[in-house]
Amino acid sequence: MRATLPGADAPSAGPAPIQIALYRFTHWTGTVAVREHGSVWRGAARTTNSTARVRAQHGYGPVVQGKAAAMASDNGGAVGGGCEPELSESLRTFGAVLKALREEAGLTQEQFAPLVRYSPAYIAKIEQGKRFPPRELLKRSDEVLGAVAARVLEAAAKSLTRKAGLASWFRQWAGIEEEAISLYAYECRAVPGLLQPEPYIRAVFDRRLPPVTEEQLDRAVAARLDRQQIIVQRPNTAFSFIIEQAVLERRLGGSQVTKAVVDHLLAMSRLRNVEIQLMPLRQEDHCGVDGHMYLAETPDHRWLGYTEGQRSSNLISAPKDVSVLLQRYGKLRSQAHDCRATVSLLEQMRGAL
C-alpha cells in the first residue's frame, strides 16, 4: 500500500503522526509544496545561517569548517574516530518524516528495508536521525511509498544539505561507509576509528581539549563502538588500513591501553575482509607526507575521499582529486609492511609491552 498524505478534509480527531512529522519538517526547513490530486502541503520555517561551503557532485563534496568541524578528527573526532556528534534537529525530523511515511504505507522497518535495498538496522538509524540519508534511498522510496512521499523526502534531504554543522556531514560519510564495497584508511595521527578498542577511545577523549563530560565520553564511546560493527556486518566489504608504527609506539594512554590496541589489531587482522599494514618508522621513500586519507568505493563503483585538518574537514568527490588519493594510497601500500610482516611486528610489540 502506498503512503498518501491526509487532505484538508481529514477528520479533526487530533493530528496524525504523519502530520506531526511533516509539521516538524516544514517548521525547520522552509516552504514545502507537494501537489498531487489537488492536495497542497505548505509550511514556512526558520532559516539558519550556513557556514559550510558545499561543492556538490552527485550529492557529495562538502567542505566543513569551524567549531563543529573541529570535532571531526581521529584525535577525538567523528570520521577518523572521535566524538560522534549529538543528533541534529533536522536529521531527527527527516527520520520522523520517513518513519511516518513508512508507517502510513503499512510497512514495518523489516518489510520496508529490503524493498529499498538496505538493512533494517540502517533504516532504523536513519529514522533515529543517526545517519545521513543516502541519495539512493530517495530514489527507491518513490517505488515503495509513492510519488508524494518521495517528494517530501527529497525536500527534506535538500534541507539537510543546506544545514551547517558537523552532524550532517559526518552522517553523510557514515552513510557512505555503510554502503561502501571497499574502504581504505591511512592514518598517521591515531588508530583509525573503526579499529579502536574501548580503552583507546576513552584515552583519546580523556585527553581531548576542550574537556568533555563523562556523559559525552560515554556517548562517544557507545557511538563509535556501534559504528565499528560495519566490519563484521559487511563481510563482503574489503577494508584496508595503513597505520604508522609511530602511532603505536607513542603508547597513548599507557602500556595497558597499547596492549589492548595491539591485541585488537591482531584479532581484526584475522578477519578475511580486513587488511592491516604498519608503516615502518624508517621509510626513505614515504609518499604520505601530505597526511592521512580515507577512501570509499560506492556500490556503483564511484570513489570518494575524506581528509581532515585542524578545525576543518573535506569530503572529496571530484574524480581527478580522488584519483590523486588513490595513487598515493596504492604507493603507501607498497611502502608499508605487508600483512604477514605486520602481524609479526605486532606480536613483537605485544611481547615488549
Give the strand pairing for 238-244 and 182-187. Answer: parallel
How far is Cα 78 from Cα 60, in angstroms, rounded to an integer? 17
Residue predicted with more confidence, 267 or 68: 267
Neighbour count for residue 258 (Cβ, 10 Å):
22
Report all structural domains of the chain as residue ranges with CATH numbers, in order of start: 1-47+89-162 (1.10.260.40), 178-352 (3.30.870)
Q: Which of these, 243, 101, 226, lies nearest to 174 by C-alpha position?
A: 226
| pLDDT, position 82 | 41
Residues 6 or more apart whose Cβ sits within 8 Å of residue 266:
343, 346, 347, 350
Residue 195 has phi, psi (to 5 degrees) of -115, 10
CA atoms of 318 and 287, how far apart (whole Å): 21
Instruction: Identify the weakest region by mean pLDDT among 108-117, 155-164, 245-254.
Output: 155-164
pLDDT for the residue numbered 200 = 97
Which residue in the block uniquely carries the three cell numbers 552522517?
171
Query: Is pLDDT larger for residue 81 or for residue 148?
Result: 148
Q: What is the mean pLDDT of residues 69-84?
A: 42
CA dihedral 89, 143, 116, 114 (to 10 degrees): 130
- pLDDT level of residue 344 (50, 70, 90 thresholds): very high
Residue 322 banded pLDDT, cuts 50, 70, 90: very high
Closest Cα partner for 240 from 287, 190, 182, 297? 182
Q: Which amino acid is at 149?
A: A
Alpha helices by DSSP H, listed for 63-134, are 89-104, 109-115, 120-127
Residues in the chain: 353
Statement: residue 268 has pLDDT above 80: yes
- Between 135-145 and 89-104, two packed helices, what is the crossing angle to 10 degrees? 20
212 exposed, middle or buried (CB, 10 Å; 0-12, 13-18, 19+)? Answer: middle
Per-residue pLDDT for 214 more than 50?
Answer: yes
Centre a 10 Å sphere on the Cβ of residue 348 and count the other Cβ atoms it contains.
10
Question: What is the pTM (predicted TM-score) of this model?
Answer: 0.62
Query: Rounded to whole angstroms, how far apart are CA atoms 244 and 267?
Result: 18
SS3 208: coil
Q: Is the pLDDT of residue 40 over 50?
A: no
pLDDT of residue 170: 61
pLDDT digits (tens, 9 = 90+) for 94-115: 889 999 999 999 999 999 999 9
Distance, CA of 30 to CA of 28 (rounded, Å):
6
Rg, C-alpha atoms of the chain: 22
Cβ-contact 312, 69 below 8 angstroms: yes
* DSSP code, position 69: G
Please give the mean pLDDT across all residues of the chain.
Answer: 77
- How many Cα atoms sit within 13 Å of 308 on the Cβ side? 31
8 Å CB contact between 77 and 196: no
Asked whether the predicted pLDDT for residue 236 surpasses 80, the reply is yes
User: Could you identify the residue written with the cell 570513489?
Assistant: 303
Least confident of 52-61, 76-85, 183-192, 311-320: 52-61
| Residue 349 pLDDT | 97
| pLDDT at residue 11 is higher than 80 | no
Give the mean pLDDT of 329-333.
98
**What's the mean pLDDT in 223-243?**
91
Instruction: Band the pLDDT of 171: cuts 50, 70, 90.
Output: low
Q: Which of 352, 78, 340 is nearest to 208 (CA)?
A: 78
Does residue 81 surpass a pLDDT of 50? Answer: no
H helix or E strand, kind and range, residue 297 = strand 293-297
pLDDT of residue 18: 53
What is the structure's pLDDT at 224? 83
Average pLDDT over residues 151-175: 63
Reply yes or no on whether the pLDDT at 42 is more than 80: no
pLDDT, tens digit, 9 for 90 and up, residues 126-146: 898 877 777 778 888 888 998
| Banded model confidence at residue 226, pLDDT cuts 50, 70, 90 | confident
Distance CA 239, CA 226 (A): 17
Answer whether 229's CB lies under 8 Å from 237's CB. Answer: no
Q: Write out the H or E segment, with its range, that includes residue 182.
A: strand 182-187
